[in-house]
Amino acid sequence: MGHQIAAEWIKARSLRSTWLLVGLAVIGMIAQALTGAIGYDGTGAGRQTLDVMSGSGLTLVVVTIIGVLLAANEYGSKSIVSTYTVTADRRRVVLAKAVVALAIAAGIGLFSVPLARLVAVIWFALGGGGNWDAGFGTALHYDYGTMIAYAGFAVVGVAIGVLSRSVAIGVGVAFVGLFVIDSILGSVSFYSEYSFTAAAEVLNNPDVHQGNLPRFGSAIALMALYAGLLTAIGVGVERRRDV
């Protein structure tokens, strides 16, 4: 499995599109932090700080696309033929792609709070209103919440990419499925506690809890469940399909 992960990492890092999307993901995080800082209404610097630190919706979209690309790109270019003639076990290939997507997305998430702090420092230095009001524990909470949310979406992106075998279809399905349909269903009272996007919302904003959303621990479990389930479906289907 280690060999396959190394192979998938070489493939990911050797494409410009991966780095362009990582750059876009960082821009998403900066935009989120700036929006949080600018939105300060003069009262409660604590809320402003939480808004600055919260995970970015744009970055969630971008890491999902990274996952889709890591998987579906191989079918578009037919390089999947080379992959499967070197590695006969397709389960290993799909899982290795998921691990690499998870690592890239979690790596991006790791810098979420430090980047937010940097944006806030610059904002305050330039005379922007408000002040930083969060301890290390809160910052850590936000950081790993964001890492898990990004990682979960990237893994789901890989599963969608494997199932769709097309970058365009995969990105379309991911966007409509995750960011439109799931969000709409999330507004239904029963489903709101189990919605994938609701889980991401909680992980991105762990200290801003709303009654109709899952708890932080439940959000982590839901994220793992959905990502694991979709990956298992992807592996199962891919093992039986012809190339």
Partner 1 sequence: MIQAEELTKEYRHFTAVKQLSFAAEAGRVTGFLGPNGAGKTTTISMILGLAEPDGGQALVAGKPFRRLGNPATAVGAVLDGGAFHDGRSARASLRASCAAAGLPASRAGEVLETVGLSDAPDRRVGKYSLGMRQRLSLAQALLGDPQVLILDEPANGLDPEGIVWLRKALRRLAHEEGKTVFVSSHILAEMQATVDTVVVIAEGQLVSEFAVGELAGGRTVIARANQADRLADAVERGGGKAVRSGEQLSISGLNADRVGEIALEAGVALSALGIEQQDLEQRYMELTAGKGR
Binding partner 1 by CB under 8 A: which of 23, 39, 89, 210? 89
Binding window for partner 1 (CB under 8 A); candidates: 121-129, 139-147, 196-204, 235-243: 235-243
Tokens of 208: 């801003």
Is residue 236 at the binding interface for partner 1, with CB under 8 A as the rule?
Answer: no
Q: Which is nearer to partner 1, 88 or 126 (CB)?
A: 88
Q: Which of residues 13-42 bind partner 1 (CB under 8 A)?
A: 14-17
Q: Which is nearer to partner 1, 35 or 87 (CB)?
A: 87
Is residue 1 at the binding interface for partner 1, with CB under 8 A as the rule?
Answer: no
Is residue 87 at the binding interface for partner 1, with CB under 8 A as the rule?
Answer: yes
Q: Distance of CA 233 to CAs 98, 143, 159, 173, Å?
A: 13, 29, 8, 16
Rounded to whole angstroms, how far apart are CA atoms 99 and 161?
14
Shortest Å, Cβ 105 to partner 1: 20
Shortest Å, Cβ 155 to partner 1: 20
Shortest Å, Cβ 203 to partner 1: 32
Shortest Å, Cβ 113 to partner 1: 33
- Relative orientation angle of helices 57-76 and 2-13, to the nearest 10 degrees: 100
> Under 8 Å CB-to-CB from 18, ≥6 apart: which residues?
12, 66, 69, 70, 104
Shortest Å, Cβ 158 to partner 1: 16
Binding partner 1 by CB under 8 A: which of 19, 23, 86, 210? 86
Q: Which is nearer to partner 1, 50 or 93 (CB)?
A: 93
Contacts with partner 1, 54-83, as mask; x by CB under 8 A? -------------------xx--xxxxxxx
Phi-psi region of 127 (alpha: psi -120 to 50; beta: other; left: phi over 0): left
Shortest Å, Cβ 25 to partner 1: 19
Shortest Å, Cβ 165 to partner 1: 13
Tokens of 63: 């890491």
- Which residues in this chain contact partner 1 in the complex, by CB under 8 A? 3-4, 6-8, 10-11, 14-17, 73-74, 77-89, 240, 242-243
